Amino acid sequence: MKFFYAPLLCLGLIANAHAVALPGGVRDALKQAHIPQSGIGIEVREINARSALISVNARQAMNPASTMKLLTTYAGLELLGPGYTWKTEAYLDGKLDKGVLQGNLILKGYGDPKFTIEQFWLWLSELRARGLREIQGDLVLDRSFFNLPAHDPADFDNDPVRAYNVGPDALLLNFNTLRLRYLPDGNRLKVISEPPLEGMRLDNQLAPLPAPNCENWDDTIHIQPRGDSVVLQGGYPSECGEREQNLNVMPHTRYVAAVFNAIWQELGGTLKGNTREGIAGGNAKLFATHYSEPLAEVIRDINKFSNNVMARQLFLTLGTVTQASASASIPLSILTTKSWLAQNKLSFPELVLENGAGLSRQERISAQHLAQLLRSAAHSPFNAEFTASLPILGVDGSVKKRLKGTAAASRAHLKTGTLEGVKTIAGYVRSKSGKEWIIVFLINHPNAKLGGAAQDALIEWVQKR
C-alpha cells in the first residue's frame, strides 16, 4: 500500500504546495450544522493564480442549484453579445381596411425572457396607433420557435403555483405570473391582482391569523386555480402588513389571451373571434415588431434575483446561435454550450445540464470547474457586464441581507443557489489587500440549509487576506 500511495501523496503535496487548510471558523460552522466535509466542495483562488489556495473535494461533481446560472449567463454574453435582443412579431393574416382586420392577428414569439406587462401594453398601443382597431378573426399565438416537451409545473416539487416553476415558452409574457397584493385593514383583508386577466375571478376566502413569525408569512395561504377562478383559502397574518407574491395560475396560451383581451378592450379595440395556437404562414404580413431589453440588462435580473424562467429562456436561445435550426430545443442548447466550453479550452467532463437554470435534481458541476469558469469570465471582454449582473454582498439581490454591516459587505459579487439539500455560493471577493479572489462553496447534504454560516465565515476569511 505504501509503495503505490506514497508517490501519489508526494505529487499531491507538490501540486498544492501553497494550499492552506480549511479555516477554523468554517470548520466550526460546518460542525455546528452537522455537515461533514464529504458534503461540501470548495475552491478558493486568486483570479490570476495557477493553483488554489483552498481546495476541498473540488473535483467532485455536485448539484450547483442556481449557481449554474453563472454558466448560462456567461455563455450568453460570449455567444450572443451583450447587445443581443429578442423580438416578438405581430402579423396580419387578412386585409386591414379602415381599422378593421378581416382576418386573424398573429403574435409570434422568439423567447423574450422579459416581455413585461408594461411593454406589452405599449406594444398593443402601437398596434392601435398603426391603425388596427377591430379584429374580425382570431388571435393566433405562434409559439413554434421553442421545440419543447409538455411542461408540468408540479413536476419539480409538487407546488405548481410557485413562480419559479413556470416553464419556458417562445411567447412568454410577464413571466406568466399573477401578482397578488395583500392589504390588511383591521379585520378585513383586501387582495389586489395584477395584471388584469379578462375572465378570471379572484375568490378571497382568507381569514386573519396571528403571526408569530412573518418570515414565512405565506405558509398559511393555500392557492387553488379552479377553472376561471383563483381561490385563496387559509389565513393571512395581518400584523405582517402589506405583502405580495407572484403566482403561476394558468397555462401560457390562456394567460396571454386573458391579458391581451383585458388590455385590448382598455385600448378601445375589439376581438370578434377566439384565441388559439397556430403558425404564421406565408400569406401573413408582418405588421409590427417588439424588441426586448438588451442581454446585458436581462442577465442582471437572472443573476441578481435568480429568475429561473428567464434563465431557461436564455439557455434555449443559446442553441439557435451556432446551429442551423428553425427552432430552439434543450438538446441543441446543451450541445452548443458544451461546444463553446471546448472552444474555450474548458474541459468539464462531469458537467450535466438539464435547463441551465439550476432548478434541477440532475444538473452537476464541480467546484473546481465552476471556479475555472469564473476565472475565464474574469478575463472575458464582457467581464464588466458579467460581474455587474451578480448580486453585491450586503447590498442587493439574493445576498442583500448577508453579512450586511460587516467589512465584507460591498466587497463581493456572489451568486447563490438553494434547493432542498443544496446550498451554494460562488463569485468574486476583493480582500482588504486589494487582491481579487474567486470563491466557490457548494453544499450537498440534508442539512445544507444550515450551511450559510460556514459560507459566510469563508467569505469573511477571504476578505481579510
CA angle 421, 422, 425 (to 5 degrees): 160
pLDDT < 50: residue spans in the chain: 1-17
Query: From 3.40.50.720, 3.40.50.1220, 3.50.80.20, 3.40.50.2000, which CATH number describes the 87-150+251-293 domain?
Result: 3.50.80.20
Nearest one of 148, 64, 14, 2 to 371, comparing CA atoms: 64
- Give the pLDDT of residue 161: 94
Beta strands, E only, 32-99: 40-46, 54-56, 61-62, 87-97
Query: What residue spans in the chain does CATH classification 3.40.710.10 cover?
Result: 2-83+296-463
Start-end of CATH 3.50.80.20 domains in the chain? 87-150+251-293
What torsion do the CA atoms of 53, 57, 60, 66 make, to the nearest 10 degrees? -70
The residue to which cell 421553442 is assigned: 146
Grid coordinates belonging to 128:
392601435
**Residue labelled with grid coordinates 378585513:** 188
Alpha-carbon distance 287 to 106, whole Å? 10
In this prediction, residue 207 carries a pLDDT of 86
CATH architecture of residue range(s) 2-83+296-463: 3-Layer(aba) Sandwich (3.40)
- Tens of pLDDT, residues 416-436: 999 999 999 999 999 999 999
- Res 218: pLDDT: 86
Closest by CA position to 259, among listed 131, 124, 163, 144: 124
At 324 the pLDDT is: 60
Q: Tell me, what's the pLDDT at 18?
A: 59
Residue 219 pLDDT: 85
d(CA 101, CA 93): 8
3-state class of 313 per DSSP? helix
Residue by residue, DSSP assigns 85-103 as --EEEEEEEEEEETTEEEE
